[in-house]
Structure 1
Amino acid sequence: MRHPLQHLRGNAIRAFRSQGLQVDVLGEDMQSKLVEEARKACLLVNLPFVYRAASRVPFSVLKYAMTLDGKIAASSGHAAWISSKLSRNRVFELRGRSDAIIVGGNTVRRDNPRLTARHGGGHMPIRIVLSQSLDLPEEANLWDLSDVSTVVVTQRGARRSFQRYLASKGVEVVELDILNPRDVMEYFHDRGYLSILWECGGTLAASAISSGVIHKVFAFVAPKIIGGKNAPSPVGELGMVEMSQALDLIDVCFEQIGPDMLISGFLQPIPDLTPTIPSEDETFAIDPTVAPFETSIIFFYKTWDLYGAFSNFSPHTIQMPDEDGNYVTWFSVEHYYQANKFIGVINPLAQDCIDKIKSAKSPEEAARMGRLTQRRHPHLVRSDWESVKIDVMYRALKCKFSIYPHLNSMLLSTAGSVLVEASPHDLFWGGGRDGEGLNYLGRLLMKLRSEFLGESSAASENTCIAL
């Protein structure tokens, strides 16, 4: 299959074919009777990357084992073992294909798991514990880091003394302002995680599903009945009151594993990552160098891409004047843009947020701080933000492409091409997943390009007159 990101498509195919290898591209070269089988095989191999590229969170699988009456443990909490040894071996395989395994604090307290792949070598996934209160035992198998490391994610300020205790054992502790699955997944996306296996209890599973971060479900159903009014179920309260509200799995598969039945399926459809471009008339109005019917498209998104420097996340320092006219250094355009949401607001918390964003270690961290504060404390956002944010971004981009000659040259080299920020989820600055985005970042860059080309042309004319 072709690469899910437009700007990388075709390179590997050309390289293989140039060496004499036969490459059949799904939907282009293959016989029709093989297309569906090949499609499933290609997507199965590439699913984690496809989902991560589309949603900006790692591909997440929720796994659980339950009895025929839908219980994951007895009323006492005892849960070993619901499924058969063959099913547990399959779980070890799932772990071995994941970057990390997530559990909640209840699982640590109740089961004291090891969460290892137990395959005798090779890849071992990182173990992640989510605990808002950090009410965790001092002695736990997860604090043994002899085989693999553990990360504990908690809410800011929780049990500082216990944080120090975990750190003394080598356990990494990460504090988030508010602990919820979406923020946790965005954080680990920024750290480069591709695929995560959730082996948590019903409460955390429900929260993860509600947050929209679970993509696939693996349910092992054992031919056992344990009963119990208070026995836990695999998914907690989702707020649904009618069966019509139930979430349907997509592409459901059934497989018998020993005495157990494995039921798997997708909670979210496999995304299409091909964005479309703005209309010809709209693009020509922004940049007259773009010729209708002969337009090439340049997509950019990640900073490591060919045109990754066009991203406002690229690590290029800029200097911008503050409210008093003094020039302030910002690590990236994104740092400057996020901080400007709160500039001029008379509130100590707003200034504190600006300072934290300014000192953020990465553009991703600055973006996360700005977005979280905007969402959770809207009163700290300047009242005119919606009307000025495009101008704020434009001024920062103009500074960036003015002070770095190689960036200016790169932008000018794209003359005649449509620039599309290929974010599948940002419908304002990006092109969106299906081309429904407004692509304002691409528009601003084309506007800048047109201005720079005009200045270059004027300078050339002046030079000729002088001569």
Structure 2
Amino acid sequence: MALSFRVCSPPLICRATLASGDNGRNRHANDAAFIRRAADLADTSAGFTSPHPNFGCVIATSSGKVAGEGYLYAEGTKPAEALAVEAAGESSIGSTAYLNMEPGDCHGDHTAVSALVQAGIGRAVVGIRHPLQHLRGSAIRELRGQGIEVDVLGEDFQSKVLEDARKSCLLVNAPLIHRACSRVPFSVLKYAMTLDGKIAASSGHAAWISSKLSRTRVFELRGRSDAVIVGGNTVRQDDPRLTARHGQGHTPTRIVMSQSLDLPEKANLWDVSEVSTIVATQRGARRSFQKYLASKGVEVVEFDMLNPREVMEYFHRRGHLSILWECGGTLAASAISSGVIHKVVAFVAPKIIGGSKAPSPVGELGMVEMSQALNLIDVCYEQVGPDMLVSGFLQPVPDLLPVIPSEEATFEIDPSVNPFESSIIFFYKTWDLYGSFSNFSPHAIRMPCGEENDEYVTWPSVEHYYQANKFVGVDNPMAHDCVEKIRTAKSPEEAALIGRAKQRQQPELVRSDWEEAKIEVMYRALKCKFSTYPHLKAMLLSTAGSVLVEASPHDLFWGGGREGEGLNYLGRSLMQLRSEYLAESSVSAENASLA
């Protein structure tokens, strides 16, 4: 059973109660139940492909029957709203759509809103507005502009039951909300300890404190996270693998924080055949060992000052939404003191080991009185086999209500202002303002599979096409199979994982000219994408005069790099394509003037 988002706090005080009588209470109860269902659906995909916001949609008829539902599987896949109306069919007409979060279409397609409008939805109930400022309120305004009644929990009506339902919507997208508000990933500190508060014996031996059932829950936690982070002492003492082998979801990136790089040459984390490892260290630490790690395929990132805050800000820029901390007490205390830990998950085993030198889960915090203790909020208790699972928040999920304007004060975008005007335009993840420039955006293209093939094939995204072309033309059945697996991958992220893993594990399957051909392959795919979708071409042309930078801090070929040291070939390709379009427009205008 996956960890659930259950609120165990005392009852919340309602701001207002606008509805009265049995009808109002019944309507609120129905709305709350369907919103909770939408939140549960949204949570279904957490961790399957990473990272992406969690969207769910339930369509209910006037009689209270569920006609259709859906959830966003990953970035670059069909919106939850479109899936729900497809499932509901004609029953969508006049029905109510329940959305855990306002649609966040940053690709200029308005696919989610269009699906609801075209299906004939009469009313929409939204749990929370989109947390990202450039998307907040736009879908709600568009739905209302199309004549659909829209109610937003906490704004248009309130009640205790609706407030609790709204909180479930906040929790299911807590990583995205924290990312938007604090500019660090949502971080969960997890540990297992004995009843007397020890995470290991005095010797350092720690296997196993918790039960097998609890360890399975840890695998599930990892599967919901973008990355798992440990300190150097954990690597030396435990030699962990940090996989999600018994849980659902993807396998997270492994991160090791080590200031001195006093790490063993042989460790399970240095095996990157299936999942990557990143070592964060102090600048200049053990250069020879850094080279050794690099030879193993381990990425080393140097910091001027290695501390949890700096590291988390870096992984925020890298696009991570959620990180699970499985470190020892010293690093845990440093992370808590730095203010980057948002939630604590503790497994307490009914065991006593004693020992004055046995380590505890959290090291020195500098507190000398109980009045200084940090209190968890929204605490939940659950028995897992013989263990007790205690979880709660060190920092509440930010409430978006105070920064959302009222309906009367809702601003309108000034049509005279070009939102794409900038000397440098950065883009990276598909939820960014310029997310449609990403090769992971959900825009299918029709391209032949290989330069000498005349048969056109539909590729779900540019990334699908790019990854498959690594293996095109190789006379090997395994290469052909890999191309098909990539083409049919459910999301761009999964296509990328398949292509990268196969390239790393079986380099003999990669076409011999790939390094010379990959820029041209990407350019052809981008040209097809922007030529196929007029609104994307118009967006690209609107950036004339600006430098385009793919802001990936870790991709030094396609991206701009952490400190601008990257080659930025994706940005260069887009600027080249833009120049080509501008030249064509100029020729067309000249020919028109001569006609």
Give the secondary-structure state (helix, strand or coil) at the position aligned to 1:8.
coil
Q: Distance in 2 between matches of 1:49 and 1:294?
A: 25
Report the CA distance between 1:2 and its aligned residue: 1.1
Amino acid at match of 2:320: Y
The within-5 A match list for 1:95-134 is 95-119=222-246, 122-134=249-261
Q: Secondary structure at the match of 2:297?
A: coil
Please give the alpha-carbon distance, in whole angstroms, between the structure 2 residues aligned to 1:11 and 1:21. 14
Mapped partners of 1:18, 1:94: distance in 2: 41
Which amino acid in 2 is paired with 1:42? C
Note if 1:153 corresponds to 2:265: no
Which residue identity lines up with residue 307 of structure 1 in the other structure?
A: P
1:13, distance to aligned residue in structure 2 (A): 4.3
Unaligned regions of 5+ residues in structure 1, if any? 278-292, 300-305, 317-329, 333-360, 367-467
* Alignment map for 1:216-295 (pairs within 5 Å): 216-273=343-400
Q: CA shift at 1:9, angstroms?
A: 2.3
Equivalent pair of 2:223/2:248 in contact (CA under 8 Å): no
1:204 aligned to 2:322?
A: no
- Cα distance between partner residues in 2 of 1:68 and 1:155: 36
Measure the CA separation in 2 of the matches of 1:146 and 1:95: 18
Distance (whole Å) between structure 2 residues aligned to residue 258 and residue 295 of structure 1: 51
Number of residue equivalences = 305
The one-character-per-residue Cα deviations of 1:26-51 (angstroms, maximum 9, x if unpaired) are 22456725313312310121100011
2:279–2:300 Cα contact (<8 Å) kept = yes
Scaled by the length of structure 2, the TM-score of the pair is: 0.47
CA distance in 1: counterparts of 2:334 and 2:391, whole angstroms: 20
Change (3 A) 1:143 1:87: same
1:248 is paired with a residue whose SS is coil
Map 1:153-192 onto structure 2 (within 5 A): 153-192=280-319
Using structure 1 for the length normalisation, give the TM-score: 0.59
Q: State the SS of the aligned residue for 1:94.
A: helix
* Aligned residue runs from structure 1 range 404-423, under 5 A: none
| Larger deviation, residues 3-12 vs 228-237 | 3-12
Is this contact kept in 2: 1:6–1:274, CA < 8 A? no
Give 1:204 shift. 0.2
Choose between structure 1 and 2 for higher RCO, CA contacts under 8 A separated by at least 6 residues.
Answer: 1
- Mark the CA change 1:313 to 1:180 in structure 2 (over 3 Å): closer, same or farther: farther
Q: Summarize the alignment of residues 289-304 of structure 1 with structure 2, pairs less than 5 Å apart.
A: 296=411
Equivalent position amino acid for 1:110 in 2: Q
Alignment partners' CA distance in 2, 1:17 and 1:119: 45
Q: Offset at 1:364?
A: 7.1
Of the structure 1 ranges 30-39 and 257-266, higher mean CA displacement relative to structure 2 is found in 30-39
- Secondary structure at the aligned position of 1:101 is classed as strand
1:171 shift after superposition? 0.3
Distance in 1, Cα, partners of 2:150 & 2:347: 38
**Aligned-pair distance for 1:145?**
1.0
- 1:64: which partner in 2? 191
Q: Which moved more, 1:66-75 or 1:35-44?
A: 35-44
Q: How many Å apart are 1:208 and its aligned residue?
A: 0.3
Change (3 A) 1:83 1:127: same
Deviations 1:383-406 (A, max 9, x none): xxxxxxxxxxxxxxxxxxxxxxxx
Q: 1:20: how far off? A: 10
1:341-360 CA deviation, whole Å, 9 max, x = no partner?
A: xxxxxxxxxxxxxxxxxxxx
- The CA distance in 2 between the partners of 1:93 and 1:187, in whole Å, is 25
Instruction: Flag the 1:77–1:53 CA change in 2: closer, same or farther, 3 A.
Output: same
Q: Which residue matches 1:85?
A: 212
1:307 aligns with 2:419: yes
Residue in 1 aligned with 2:180? 53
Alignment RMSD (CA, Å): 3.3
Q: For the Cα contact (< 8 Å) 1:4–1:274, is it kept in 2?
A: no
Deviation at 1:19, TM superposition (A): 9.4
Letter in 2 for 1:199: E
Is the Cα–Cα contact under 8 Å of residues 52 and 59 in structure 1 kept in the other structure?
A: yes
Q: Is the 8 A contact 1:5 1:273 kept in 2?
A: no
What amino acid does structure 1 have at the position aligned with 2:220? E
